[in-house]
Structure 1
Amino acid sequence: MLSRNMSRFLFLVAVTFVVCLLAGCYSFTASTLPSHIKTVKIHEVEDKTLDPVLANDIHTAVVEMFKKNAGGVRLVNENANADFEMTLLSYTNKPENYNSNSDVETYRVTIRVSVKFYDNVKERIIYESKSLSADGTYDIQKNESEDRHGQARAIEKMQDLIIANALAKW
């Protein structure tokens, strides 16, 4: 019969082996995506807000996000290893802060999207969020604008949320 220490040692070796084996089943590349994903199709953003400019800006931001964070992956228009889809669900632009004269100083824009990143090779969802919200403020006292500053800040936060949430799933 093996000693207690030897049994523990063999148990740890077995656990380590299983963990390494499982990690190999779904390995990660430097881009943090599963290694079998070499191509991604980024679909046009479905727009439920009737703001095609904002939808286009979000699409451009997602393309940039992939180029920056998944450099080893080629973006293609068909037959991709994975599909990335987004829907622009809502957009708001509301006053946030007022000065002593009751004039609006800052506004907050909020973008709400749904995201689905699907692995076509393994036929499973890599990441999905039915309602992901990001916001950005802009200060009209500093001559900032809704589209240039507020929307851009919200889109940047949205990119960060997608990366942070998706990395936890990849």
Structure 2
Amino acid sequence: MKYFNYILLLVISTTFFTCGPYSFTGAETGDAKTFQVNYFQNNAILIEPGLDRDFTLALQDLITNQTNLSLVNSNGDLVYEGEITEYRISPTTATANNTAAQNRLTIRVNVRFYNKKKEEDDFEQSFSFYYDYAGSQQLVGSQKDTAIAEIFERLTQDIFNASLAKW
């Protein structure tokens, strides 16, 4: 029993000391302790009310949930800013009657990322994703909420991967 306790202590110690700081999301925050997400203005030609606020909050939530960084309003070690540049609904396929069989909502954001601790990681990049829905449906209510949520999930994850996961 005495040897079992020593072996157990050795296994536990080795596990904690060899793993070190590891993130299951693959995020590499370096020396950064804080981040800020500046308000993303909606500069798209077609304006969807509240889209700018909802996107800013979605990006803040994702980074908060996938890192141990603290959200601040100013002087963050990592800074995200940009604008929504496109909100577009377009037909993707047509029927024999020249009506849309399927429509696509596309949202594009331009992101500027600044890492005050490691400036070589700074970038400006455009991210875009879409949601397809039946041409016979209107993009309103829960259909619109589902579309925007799915697009935001993909956009925010792509931004996270580009800035912190380096994927």
Aligned to 1:126: 121
Out of 94, 105, 110, the position equivalent to 2:106 is 110
C-alpha displacement at 1:125, in angstroms?
Answer: 5.1
Out of 44, 49, 56, the position equivalent to 2:39 is 44
Percent of residue pairs bearing the same amino acid type? 21
Q: 2:63 matched to 1:66?
A: yes
- Which whole-Å CA distance do the structure 2 matches of 1:118 and 1:58 have between them? 18
Amino acid at match of 1:168: K
Q: 2:166 matched to 1:168?
A: yes
**Taking structure 1 as reference, are residues 115 and 29 closer, same or farther at Cα in structure 2, changes over 3 Å only?**
farther
C-alpha displacement at 1:29, in angstroms?
Answer: 5.1
Greater RCO structure (CA 8 Å; 6+ sep): 2
Q: Which runs of 5+ in 2 are unaligned?
A: 1-20
Aligned to 2:154: 157
Q: Structure 1, residues 76-104: CA drift from partner, whole Å, max 9, x if none?
A: 11221111112111111112234455443
SS in 1 for 2:29: coil
Is the contact made by 1:40 and 1:73 (CA closer than 8 Å) also made in structure 2? yes
Amino acid at match of 2:166: A
C-alpha displacement at 1:35, in angstroms?
Answer: 2.9
Across the aligned residues of Structure 1 and Structure 2, the Cα RMSD in angstroms comes to: 2.7
How high is the TM-score relative to the length of structure 2? Answer: 0.69
- Which whole-Å CA distance do the structure 2 matches of 1:149 and 1:51 have between them? 15
Q: 2:131 matched to 1:136?
A: yes
Q: Which runs of 5+ in 1 are unaligned?
A: 1-27
Is the contact made by 2:91 and 2:135 (CA closer than 8 Å) also made in structure 1? no
Amino acid at match of 2:156: Q
Number of aligned positions between the proteins: 141
Out of 54, 77, 81, the position equivalent to 2:77 is 81
Give the stretch that moved more between structures: 31-40 or 88-97. 31-40
Is the contact made by 2:109 and 2:128 (CA closer than 8 Å) also made in structure 1? yes
- Which whole-Å CA distance do the structure 2 matches of 1:60 and 1:113 have between them? 14
